[in-house]
Amino acid sequence: MAEGATAVAGAVKPRRELDRAVVRFAGDSGDGMQLTGEQFTAESAWAGNDVATLPNFPAEIRAPAGTLFGVSSFQLQFGSQRVYTPGDRLDCLVAMNPAALKVHLGDLKPGGLLIVNTSAFDKRNLDKAGYPSNPVDDPTLGERYRLHNVDMTALTHEALKDLLLNTKEKDRCKNFFALGVVSWIYTRPLEPTLEWIGKRFAKSPTLADANTRVLKAGHAFGETAEIFGEHYTIEPAQMAPGLYRAMTGNRALAWGLLAAAERSKLPIVYGAYPITPASGILEELAMHKRFRIRTIQAEDEIAAVTAAIGASFGGAIGVTGSSGPGIALKGEAIGLAVMAELPLVVFNIQRGGPSTGLPTKTEQADLMQALYGRNSESPVVVLAPATPGDCFFVAYEALRVAVKYMVPVIVLSDGFLANGSEPWLIPDVSTLPPIDVEFRTDLEGFFPYLRDPATLARPWVRPGTAGLEHRIGGIEKQDVTGNISYDPDNHDHMVRTRAEKVRRVAQEIPPTTVNGPAGGEVLVVGWGGTFGSITAAAERAQSEGLSVAAVHLRYLNPLPPDLGHILRQYRRVLVPEINSGQLVRVLRAEYLVDAVGFNRVRGLPLSSDEIHHAINQLLGST
């Protein structure tokens, strides 16, 4: 915990100022930890802090209560400066049951705050978590951490004793007791949560009353109970002025499409099959029919992408979204869009794999799949957002490029970005680049594969245009005429042309931003959801006086035209990824640089600590 020197005087209990804090709420999947975390996030955003979150929940919908694999958690970091990641080690852990303590204790800093709901530490739960004896009775726990045993269930019942609710209903309120306590500890405003309670329980005043009472009881408990010696404030962060909202990656992808639909004045057909962690995009889009977003919950992944391609053939914009397993199924159809040279946007919300893998955990191991995972030479544009809010801009960009170049674009988000949220400066939509679609209507000199000299895009014709009737398909075609052709030289020419078309998209890439010195010892190159961890690690190294810079790639195919030059300005290149080394191979192959990977594939975001450590190791090596 980065602590300021001054204790704020005048409060009943001493108040200390912090730069930042990392808090994790952990409990059973039935304990409402996701909601608790989201509310604490809302309170922190309201307090003007920058925030990054990491929800983490089991794949099972109703995992058996009390078990280790049924533990659900929500972590966030909030601070008075830019917060790039949800944090590495915890300053505060709330453990609602023994299983949660067992799973998460290892991440708590020595001396960190440990708040334990003792009422859940009964024999049954201890057995399920595999504790032979009650860990809170072990004195070493209190020596290593600032342990606070709180009987939350009893205190919740006490607060609700005169309310007509059954035991189960009362039990369910205890997460708000925990929220109240932690809100007091970090001096969070309760308003956003009270407002939420009012809205959520508008139809059941008793439950609204109950949750309000328990939240306030938790808050008062922090203030009055003997056990908490002090509490903390975190000053509002210095953030760019403007209007902010909380944004998750999946919602941002969806809203980016809405913006693109509005700007291009074209309907979007979004085909999808339910899959974790991408389903949220389908659900979000289905709510916004007013934007002429037409969603199809297709019969399978293949139908989802082919319906999108059918829509593109019709002059709408076809978009599909899934996770790695679904993308594997869509491969052949993406090849059809490559061949038919139709616009298509494909979202891949990457998760742990292969096969079913870790459906609710994050990973970055589908880069090679996006670049090469189809039969034959099948080049597509590949983009990756860096933060939840960035998903908005990347979705928009993907669509813009897809229609301009008549090419499929794959967007690689991930489970961490999809569910994670950040305070997002709401952009002025008029500053988004235009998406001007011009359908071919001119009969004069028309051929289906006549190309635009700058983009190599073929003309997009809406069926219904008289005189331009033509046929396209997945069979190799003669350039220009579009007639079926098995001619060897034509095929070679078309393979090169399709590749060149994707290469030309490099015209769209702005100069690469280098965070740090323009040359030096180590360049850290990353892509996708590791942006926060890499930036935090690189900036820490810089503040320690080390010669380290960082570059984060949004365009993975084509690569930025200036990247080769930048890579050569540093003695070593480090590529941290949540895979076994995919971008690093691309960079080595593409630029003949001796880049090295830093790879952990644990279903979790990389921590900035471990990246910082890797930077130091690389600096120390010769």
| Residue type (1 letter), 322 | S
- The contact mask relative to other proteins for 522-561 (x = CB under 8 A, - = no) is ----------------------------------------
Which residues, 241 to 260, sit near other proteins by CB under 8 A?
241-246, 255, 258-259
| 197 contacts 211 by C-beta, under 8 angstroms | yes
| Residue type (1 letter), 524 | V
Q: Is 288 in the site for other proteins (CB under 8 A)?
A: yes
CA–CA distance, 502 with 372 (Å, rounded to integer): 13
Residue that is written with structure tokens 């450590």 in the block: 613
* In the complex, minimum distance from the CB of residue 49 to other proteins, in angstroms, rounded to a whole number: 10
Nearest CB to other proteins, comparing residues 87 and 271: 271
Q: Is 315 in the site for other proteins (CB under 8 A)?
A: yes
| Residue span binding other proteins (CB under 8 A) among the ranges 24-32, 239-247, 410-418, 509-517 | 239-247
Q: Is 127 in the site for other proteins (CB under 8 A)?
A: no
Residue that is written with structure tokens 């700007």 in the block: 263
Q: Is 313 in the site for other proteins (CB under 8 A)?
A: yes
Bridge partner list, 552? 526
Q: Which of 225, 227, 368, 475 binds other proteins (CB under 8 A)?
A: 475
| Residue span binding other proteins (CB under 8 A) among the ranges 76-84, 211-219, 412-420, 471-479 | 471-479
Q: Is 611 in the site for other proteins (CB under 8 A)?
A: no
Q: Which of 21, 197, 269, 548 binds other proteins (CB under 8 A)?
A: 269
| Residue type (1 letter), 114 | L
CA–CA distance, 56 with 604 (Å, rounded to integer): 9
Which residues, 34 to 93, sit near other proteins by CB under 8 A?
42, 45-46, 48
Which residues, 484 to 523, sit near other proteins by CB under 8 A?
484
Q: Is 11 in the site for other proteins (CB under 8 A)?
A: no
Q: Is 331 in the site for other proteins (CB under 8 A)?
A: no
Residue 306 CB coordination number (10 Å)? 20
| Cis peptide bond N-terminal to 241, omega within 30 | no
Q: Is 299 in the site for other proteins (CB under 8 A)?
A: yes
Nearest CB to other proteins, comparing residues 43 and 88: 43
Residue 426 CB coordination number (10 Å)? 12
CA–CA distance, 412 with 385 (Å, rounded to integer): 7
Residue that is written with structure tokens 């990353």 in the block: 526
Q: Which of 58, 192, 324, 558 binds other proteins (CB under 8 A)?
A: 192
Q: What tokens appear for 604 in the block?
A: 């979790």
Q: Is 274 in the site for other proteins (CB under 8 A)?
A: no
Q: Which of 200, 289, 565, 602 binds other proteins (CB under 8 A)?
A: 289
Q: Is 302 in the site for other proteins (CB under 8 A)?
A: yes
Binding-site size for other proteins (CB under 8 A) equals 73
* In the complex, minimum distance from the CB of residue 467 to other proteins, in angstroms, rounded to a whole number: 4
Q: Is 316 in the site for other proteins (CB under 8 A)?
A: yes
Q: Which of 465, 490, 497, 542 binds other proteins (CB under 8 A)?
A: 465
Q: Own/partner pairs for 295-301, CB < 8 Å, 24+ apart? A: 295/269, 295/270, 295/271, 296/269, 296/270, 296/271, 296/272, 297/272, 297/273, 298/271, 298/272, 298/273, 299/273, 300/273, 300/329, 301/273, 301/275, 301/325, 301/326, 301/327, 301/329, 301/330
* In the complex, minimum distance from the CB of residue 611 to other proteins, in angstroms, rounded to a whole number: 29
Q: Which of 225, 426, 480, 592 binds other proteins (CB under 8 A)?
A: 426
* In the complex, minimum distance from the CB of residue 256 to other proteins, in angstroms, rounded to a whole number: 9
Cβ neighbours for 294, distance < 8 A, ≥ 6 positions apart: 267, 268, 269, 270, 311, 316
DSSP 374-439: SSSS---EEE--SSTTHHHHHHHHHHHHHHHHT-EEEEEEEHHHHH-EEEEE---GGGSPP-----
Cβ neighbours for 195, distance < 8 A, ≥ 6 positions apart: none
Q: Is 282 in the site for other proteins (CB under 8 A)?
A: no
* In the complex, minimum distance from the CB of residue 337 to other proteins, in angstroms, rounded to a whole number: 10
Q: Is 189 in the site for other proteins (CB under 8 A)?
A: no
In the sheet that holds 408-414, the strands lie side by side as 293-297, 268-272, 317-322, 344-350, 408-414, 381-383, 555-557
* In the complex, minimum distance from the CB of residue 241 to other proteins, in angstroms, rounded to a whole number: 6
Q: Is 411 in the site for other proteins (CB under 8 A)?
A: no
Which residues, 427 to 456, sit near other proteins by CB under 8 A?
427, 429, 443, 446
Nearest CB to other proteins, comparing residues 177 and 313: 313
Q: Is 194 in the site for other proteins (CB under 8 A)?
A: no
| 179 contacts 36 by C-beta, under 8 angstroms | yes
Nearest CB to other proteins, comparing residues 235 and 521: 235
CA–CA distance, 271 with 334 (Å, rounded to integer): 13
Tell which residue, 34, 82, 53, 20, has the closest CA to residue 416: 53
* In the complex, minimum distance from the CB of residue 473 to other proteins, in angstroms, rounded to a whole number: 3
| Residue span binding other proteins (CB under 8 A) among the ranges 2-10, 149-157, 330-338, 539-547 | 330-338
CA–CA distance, 556 with 411 (Å, rounded to integer): 10
* In the complex, minimum distance from the CB of residue 154 to other proteins, in angstroms, rounded to a whole number: 33
Nearest CB to other proteins, comparing residues 284 and 577: 284
* In the complex, minimum distance from the CB of residue 437 to other proteins, in angstroms, rounded to a whole number: 13
| 118 contacts 108 by C-beta, under 8 angstroms | no
* In the complex, minimum distance from the CB of residue 584 to other proteins, in angstroms, rounded to a whole number: 34
Q: Own/partner pairs for 580-586, CB < 8 Å, 24+ apart? A: 580/365, 582/364, 582/365, 582/367, 582/368, 583/367, 583/525, 583/526, 583/527, 583/553, 583/556, 585/368, 586/367, 586/371, 586/556, 586/559
Q: Is 303 in the site for other proteins (CB under 8 A)?
A: yes
Q: Which of 311, 349, 525, 550 binds other proteins (CB under 8 A)?
A: 311
